[in-house]
Amino acid sequence: MKRRLRSQDWFGASGKDGFIHRSSMKMQGLPDHVFDGRPVIGICNTWSELNPCNAGLRSLAEFVKRGIWEAGGLPLEFPVSSLGEDQMRPTAMMFRNLLAMDVEEAIRSHGIDGVVLLAGCDKTTPGQLMGAASVDLPTILISAGPALSGNFRGKTIASGTDTWKFSEEVRAGTMSTKDFVEAESAMSRSVGVCNTMGTASTMASLMEVLGVALPMNSAYPAVDARRGRLAHLTGNRIVQMVRDDLRLSKILRRASFENAIIANAALGGSTNAIVHLLAIAGRAGVPLSLDDFDLGSDVPLLVNCLPSGEYLMEEFCNAGGVPAVLNRILPLLREAATVEGRTLREIASSSQCYNDDVIRPLENPVRAKAGIRVLRGNIAPRGAIIKPSAATQSLLVHEGEAYVFSSVEDMKRKINDPDLPVTKDTVLVLQGCGPKGYPGMAEVGNMPIPSRLVKEGVRDMVRISDARMSGTAFGAVVLHVAPESSIGGPLALVKTGDRIRLDVDRGELAVLISEEEMMRRRSEWIPPQDLTPRGYAKLFKDHVMQADTGADFDFLVGASGSEVVRESH
């Protein structure tokens, strides 16, 4: 017997209610027969000209629609918030939870049976999946795809990663301002997300590993015809998923998240993946903690892509993309379902690599141990993280005196002071940049090297903060310190001149002062002034959780399902 679909409560009803729902849709030229009980598929689109990374999604949606029509479904596209990492202030992360709320309520409140998420830039991918997981309809995701590789005066340049390098060269006096400006256009040759294994490409890759996107989702460039083909197949697939009632809760299981943690290490993926995976797991009802990320701590780095390697996403695509990586780490993978129909291990076993330098074999990794490392100690009792594959290896065990910046503004005022009392061994500490403190936990953790040291040739230092850093950034940067300084976490009690010890192999991070001294400082600590009196910023600050639990809102953890109790008429 044919299963009655959710959309029939909207479009299959008799009387006034059905008349209103069908009649208003017919304003768009839809004929009677498309309301015959076929699957109604929502296309959740984060296209925006304010978000160039996602600017290609308008045309990609047409390929998805073509696939849905072909498979016998009715496609209905709708907009949600779009979070452009490069354009939003104070930080796109502040609005990830807003997007998740937007997506959740848009899906639940409309008469759709399944949804295709059109994602791309850093926060649109996790934000959309968080919202969809809270509703739990059949869901599949397709990403915008990476931009074409940049090229400046005959040399390949990378989104983001080379921005940091060029900026330091200008500060060091080895690159002119004219050349710096000229490189802007050379870096951005097409729409699409960063062409490195930054946060956007990391999250697109992990969507394949989690099982919610088709193979090669992360790798095909945004302007590659094969991305249109993949979008068409995504439209095909969602219709069958609705018929099979293949909901997100059947895909997003504990094994899926363990695979994502392991794969992120092999990919050299972004530190931001941690806070996003924790938040997605919280929505899906999957128990996941910061300590679980040690699953990847001994996994070798296999993907030789910037910022942890040499190549860009085009080379990664040509080498076989995520399926090739999964094939390399097949012995480490758990069995898990995917939206494609095959298990993840089945996809991995049928894939192969076409360039052993871009995607290395296990016996010849880029680095032997690459997973994000969880750190704990009296600075970070609830944890902090570091990405060893992006750091200068000699700094992974380090002890030095702290120089403390009380805020981003304080850091910017002082960092170029030629008399700043720091050396290459100094540990730079930045306070006030956590989820509540910034607010939004901005990507400012990779503080600039003090200009005097840059001119002396220093390119990396140990840096510690409760902030995040861009997935395209690099360095010996300790991030996501929890609890954050703005709510009285121990990071707030560190003072200039304190000695700090970092031992990544041991997972240790400590300020070398006595517990008595720590308690004395705590008794004298004064909370910062609240500068968020109203609106979404106040909602965010009042309800955002700490980084070690995903920085979601406390009232959104878990799911509400797809049922709408009351009708509209």
pLDDT tens-digit readout, 531-548: 777 999 999 999 999 999
Q: Tell me which amino acid residue 17 is.
A: D
CATH 3.40.50.300 is held by the domain 373-528: no
Lateral strand order in the sheet of 397-405:
477-478, 463-465, 427-430, 397-405, 499-503, 508-511
Structure tokens at 525: 């600590």
Q: In which band, very low, low, confident or very high, does the pLDDT at 569 lie, cut at 50, 70 and 90?
A: low
Q: Determine the Cα–Cα distance for residues 131 and 141; give it in Å rounded to an integer.
A: 12
Q: Find tokens 């848009």 and name the residue.
A: 106
Q: Is the omega angle on the peptide bond into residue 361 within 30 degrees of 0, that is, cis?
A: no
The answer to whether 114 touches 239, Cβ cutoff 8 Å, is: yes
**pLDDT level of residue 145 (50, 70, 90 thresholds):** very high
DSSP state for residue 225 in the 8-state scheme: H
Q: Which two tokens stand for residue 493?
A: 């009690």
- Give the mean pLDDT of 78-91: 94
Q: Note the pLDDT of residue 1.
A: 54
C-alpha 341/C-alpha 153 separation (Å) is 46
pLDDT beyond 70 at 493: yes
Nearest to 266 by CA among 350, 371, 344, 356: 371
Residue 395 backbone dihedrals phi, psi, to 5 degrees: -95, 0
Q: What is the rounded CA–CA span in Å between residue 472 and residue 144?
A: 17
The count of residues in the chain is 569
Does pLDDT of 160 surpass 90?
no
- For residue 568, what pLDDT is reported? 61
pLDDT at 348 over 60: yes
Share above pLDDT 90 across residues of the chain, in percent, rounded to a whole number: 86
C-alpha 391/C-alpha 256 separation (Å) is 28
Structural contact between residues 436 and 544, judged by C-beta atoms closer than 8 angstroms: yes
Mean pLDDT, all residues of the chain: 95
Least confident window among 2-16, 17-31, 126-140, 354-368: 2-16
Query: What is the 8-class DSSP label of residue 449?
Result: P
Q: Which token pair is 222? A: 């945004």
- Token readout for 348 is 């991995």
The pLDDT score that the predictor gives to residue 158 is 87
pTM of the shown model: 0.95
- Average pLDDT of span 475-488: 97
Residue identified by tokens 């509400």 is 560
Report the pLDDT averaged over residues 328-337.
Answer: 98
Residues ≥6 apart with Cβ < 8 Å to 342:
350
Indicate whether 114 pLDDT > 70: yes
pLDDT greater than 80 at residue 566: no
Q: What pLDDT is stored for residue 163 in this prediction? A: 85
**Phi and psi dihedrals of 424, rounded to 5?**
-65, -20
